Amino acid sequence: MQEHKELLERREFLKTSAKFGAAVSLASLSGFALSACDSKEDLKTDSTQNLQSTEKAGKSQIQNHLQGDTMEFITLNNGVKMPILGYGVYQIDPKETQRCVEDAISVGYRSIDTAQAYFNEAEVGAAIKTALQGGLKREELFITTKLWIDNYPEEKALKACEESLRKLGLEYVDLMLLHQPYNDTYGAWRALSRFYKEGRFKAIGVSNFYPDRIMDFYLNNEIKPMINQIELHPFYQKQAEQKVNTELDIVTQSWASFAEGKNGLFTNEILRNIGEKYNKSAAQVVLRWLIQRQIVVIPKTTRKERMIENFNVFDFSLSGEDMQKIATIDTGKTLFLDHHDPQSAKFLFDYTKIHKA
> Is residue 30 over pLDDT 80?
no
Q: Residue 354's pLDDT band (boundaries 50, 70, 90)?
A: confident
Q: Is 94 exposed, middle or buried (0-12, 13-18, 19+ CB in 10 A)?
A: middle
Structural domain spans, the chain:
5-54+80-356
The fraction of the chain above a pLDDT of 90, given in percent, is 78
Percentage helix, strand, coil, to 5, in the chain?
50, 15, 40
Q: What is the pLDDT of residues 215-233, one digit of tens each?
A: 999 999 999 999 999 999 9
Looking at residue 353, its pLDDT comes to 77
Phi and psi based region of residue 169 (left: phi greater than 0; alpha: psi -120 to 50; beta: remaining): left
| Pairwise pLDDT comparison (17 vs 275), residue with the higher score | 275
**Contact between residue 246 and residue 252 where contact means Cβ atoms under 8 Å apart:** yes
Q: Is 46 exposed, middle or buried (0-12, 13-18, 19+ CB in 10 A)?
A: exposed
The arrangement of secondary structure in 5-54+80-356, i.e. its CATH architecture, is Alpha-Beta Barrel (3.20)
Provide CB contacts within 8 A for 200, sequence distance 6+: 161, 165, 171, 172, 173
* Residue tagged active-site, from 87, 90, 109, 118: 118
Q: What is the pLDDT of residues 292-334, one digit of tens each?
A: 999 999 999 999 999 999 999 999 999 999 999 999 999 999 9
Looking at residue 69, its pLDDT comes to 58
Q: What is the pLDDT of residues 248-271, one digit of tens each?
A: 999 999 999 999 999 999 999 999
| Pairwise pLDDT comparison (5 vs 339), residue with the higher score | 339
Confirm whether 152 is a catalytic residue.
no
**DSSP calls for 56-73:** G--HHHHHHHHTT-EEEE
Query: What's the CA gap between 125 and 143, in Å, rounded?
Result: 10
Q: What is the pLDDT of residues 45-99, one digit of tens each?
A: 333 333 333 333 333 233 333 433 579 999 999 999 999 999 999 999 999 999 9
